[in-house]
Structure 1
Amino acid sequence: MINYYSIKDEKIVEYVEGLDLFWIDMQSPTEKEIEEIVNKYSLPRDYIYDVRDPQEISRIEGINDEGKSKLIMLLYPLKITDGYYATRPISVILTDGVIITATALESNILEVLKENKFKSFVKTQSREDFVLEIAWRISQFFILAVRDLEEKITLLEKEMRVSTKNELLYKMINIQKSLISFQMATRENGPIIDSMFASDRLFSAEYREDLIRDLQVENKQAQVMVEKSSTMLEHLSDLYSNVISNNLNDVMKILTSITIVLTVPTIVGGLWGMNTPLPFSNEEYAFFYLLGLSALISFIIIYALKKRDFL
């Protein structure tokens, strides 16, 4: 799917005849759509095709070359299921006065830009501002995703206190995989962001230092949050094994105590069920006597077990 956008009254609007084309957004494009854009703007094929590779790394190409298309490829977080994220590449291409973004899967990461929710000092019609805004939003999405995972970790802490199910372990594995992906992605995005600002040819706005500081701080914050959450989850995994073992011990202790208590009526009933002369065997209320005796012994055993914290 390809969407075209222009600038009108300093706002992003859908492209119509009579307006200059400013931004081409490609999400889950078909082969035909990719070929159309590649041929129209004479782009290297890998600029767009590489976003289909989930293992693609961040990179920057042609940033200092005069007259060439410029590629900035970054990794962004993509929510797969509740509590599980992956990272995927996004291509940001600058060519012939047009910005082209491409992702292999549909994502809402750029929706805020289509809604014109920019930072206060960003000039929408500036290509460099727009590219920097995309990079800043990607760092923001990492932070939001990590916060979501931190909430999931908090819920796991509460659930594991009473649960012995493997389901919690599977949730923990998904969170761990997500954080590892985030750790690698934010680490790879960092040098690309630094390279973007090292180029005076492309990024030379008068408030360039403000953009540098905000973007680098945002990416650094994402890295720190990912590292913190990874450490928390690592310790939580160790505790989880101990909690499960302790919960299983409690369950076995209770089941063993119940078995001991229920054994008493069985023994009493077995003894007085023999075909030999026994006390109370000729009594009219012998059954109730034996029932009371079983109950008395059972209560004594329950009291003894509770006193020793076995029940």
Structure 2
Amino acid sequence: MLEYYKTFENGTRKIDQPETGCWISAISPTQEEIEFLTNQIGVLPEFIKASLDEEESSHIDHDEDEGQTLVIVDYPSAEDDENMDENTLLYTTLPLGVVIMKGYIVTICLHENFNIEDMASGRIKGMHTDMKTRFLFLLLLRISQRFLMYLKQIDRVSSRTEMRLHQSMKNKELIQMLGLEKSLVYFSTSLKTDEVTLNKIMRGKQIKLYEDDQDILEDVMIEIHQAIEMCNIYSNILSGTMDAYASVISNNLNIVMKVLTVITIVMSIPNIIFSFYGMNVSGLPIPEWWFPTLVAVIACIIATIIFKRKDMFH
């Protein structure tokens, strides 16, 4: 899907055809749309291919001959898990390519996302499609803010899951905690690569920096650093929580096995006594049915009292 936006005096509006100074948004483009971007707009094919690769990591690339710069950043994404309850989300990161070229700025991504929607809806203050550097920095700022928002969501989901784990140890909650831990690993990796890309941008070698945009770039760096710190903190907390619950589950299993072993020992005492009186031999004391039964009962009571004093039933 290709859409075109341009900033006018009364705001940013969607236009029908690409014009100089407009923003071209390509979301999961078809082969025909890719050819249009390549042949008509002039975007380098390798830039489009890199932007549509889900495994592509954040980086910056510049082609001196064509005068084009590609900035790929990872943005966070959240999806509902159909296999679990409605409050469960799966978090991951996906690449978003921004091509800065003569006359246009082009964003290319595989899926619809809130960052592009926010830019297209005009909710971003100070956005101008003809100011390519500012557009890029505002988009990066929005992505960093989205990281922080999703990290707070992960913290809330983790707290709710931990409260449910206090009440009952179920596989569903443990699997959800593992999913959150995996999400934090994705976030941490993507944030670090985004930070490296931002540091390259700050050098000003591949993208021309303007004094008016320095504050926005500094805000992006602050947000990214904060997101990295939050990600590390939440990851450590979640990892410690998982280790603690693993120890609790192991301890509960040991307690159950201990109780079952004690019960087995107590129940085996009557079997031993009755085995003696069941043998075809003579000379056993008081060969009446009530005597071995009485001895077995007394022996079980004594064994139970001994195990109880040693706190073997807890």
Provide the residue aligned with 2:49 in structure 1.
49
- Report the CA distance shift for 1:182/1:263 in structure 2 as closer, same or farther (over 3 A): same
Q: Where do 5+ consecutive residues of structure 2 fail to align?
A: 82-87, 272-288, 290-299
Q: Judging changes above 3 Å, is the alpha-carbon distance between structure 1 residues 108 and 62 closer, same or farther for their aligned structure 2 residues? A: same
Given that 2:4 and 2:17 are in contact with CA atoms closer than 8 Å, whether structure 1 keeps it comes out as no
Structure 1: stretches of 5+ with no match in the other structure: 267-280, 282-297
1:178 alignment partner in structure 2? 183
Pick from 229, 233, 237: which aligns with 1:228? Answer: 233
Q: Is the 8 A contact 1:253 1:310 kept in 2?
A: yes
- The structural deviation recorded for 1:172 is 3.1
Query: Which residue does the alignment assign to 1:96?
Result: 102
The 3-state SS of whatever aligns with 2:188 is helix
Q: State the AA in 2 paired with 1:101.
A: T
Q: 1:148 aligns with which of 133, 150, 153?
A: 153
Counterpart CA distance in 2 for 1:12 and 1:306 is: 78
CA contact (8 A) 2:52 2:108 kept: no
Confirm or deny: 8 A CA contact 1:7 1:19 kept in the other structure. Answer: no
Distance 2:47 2:245 in 1: 44
Whether the 8 Å contact between 1:4 and 1:23 is mirrored in structure 2 is yes
| Aligned-residue RMSD, C-alpha | 4.0
8 Å CA contact 1:164, 1:247 repeated in 2: no
- Is 2:40 the counterpart of 1:40? yes
Q: Contact between 1:164 and 1:244, CA under 8 Å: does it hold in 2?
A: no
Q: Find the aligned partners of 2:18 and 2:182 in 1 and give their Cα distance.
A: 48
Do the aligned residues in 1 keep the contact of 2:51 with 2:97 (CA within 8 Å)? yes
CA contact (8 A) 1:21 1:98 kept: yes
Question: Which range moves more in the overlay, 142-151 or 253-262?
Answer: 253-262
Which deviates more, 186-195 or 151-160? Answer: 151-160
Conserved 8 A contact 1:27-1:106 = yes
Structure 1 CA distance for aligned equivalents of residues 208 and 117 of structure 2: 25
Q: Which amino acid aligns with 1:243?
A: V
Residue 145 of structure 2: SS of its match in structure 1?
A: helix
SS of equivalent residue, structure 1 residue 75: strand
User: Shift of residue 12 of structure 1?
Assistant: 2.3
Length-normalised TM-score, structure 2: 0.75
Distance 1:212 1:231, change over 3 A: same
Percent identity over the alignment?
27
Asked if 2 retains the 8 angstrom alpha-carbon contact of 1:163 and 1:247, the reply is: no
What does residue range 68-107 of structure 1 map to in structure 2 within 5 Å? 68-80=67-79, 81=81, 82-107=88-113
Q: Is the 8 A contact 1:7 1:20 kept in 2?
A: no
In the TM superposition, 1:152-163 aligns within 5 A as: 152-158=157-163, 159=165, 162-163=168-169
User: What is the deviation of 1:240?
Assistant: 2.2
Between the aligned partners of 2:25 and 2:306, the Cα distance in structure 1 is 74
3-state SS, counterpart of residue 136 of structure 1: helix
Q: 1:198 aligns with which of 203, 218, 226?
A: 203
CA distance in 1, matches of 2:166, 2:52: 38
Once the 2 structures are TM-superposed, how far is the Cα of residue 134 of structure 1 from its aligned partner? Answer: 0.6
Structure 1 residue 236 displacement after superposition: 2.1
Q: Does 1:243 align with 2:244?
A: no
Q: Aligned in 2, Cα 1:305/1:238: closer, same or farther, shift over 3 Å?
A: same
**Paired positions, count:** 300
Contact 1:73 1:90 in 2 (8 A): yes
Separation in 1 of the partners of 2:3 and 2:146? 22
Corresponding residue of 1:110: 116
Report the equivalent of 2:128.
Answer: 124
Please list the CA deviations of residues 30-85 of structure 1 after superposition, one character each: whole Å capped at 9, or x if unmatched.
1221111111122211211112322212121228x486122111111122444422
Q: 1:306 to 1:101 in 2, by over 3 A?
A: farther
- Matched to 1:75, the amino acid is D
AA matched with 1:47: F
149-158 vs 186-195, which moves further: 149-158
Structure-2 separation of matches of 1:32 and 1:204: 36
Partner of 1:277: none
Q: How far apart in 2 are the matches of 1:156 and 1:303?
A: 40
**1:4, 1:21 within 8 Å by CA — same for their partners in 2?**
no
TM-score (norm 1): 0.76
CA shift, 1:17, in A, is: 6.6
Cα deviation for residue 115 of structure 1 reads 2.4
Name the residue aligned to 1:9. Answer: 9
Aligned residue identity for 1:42: G
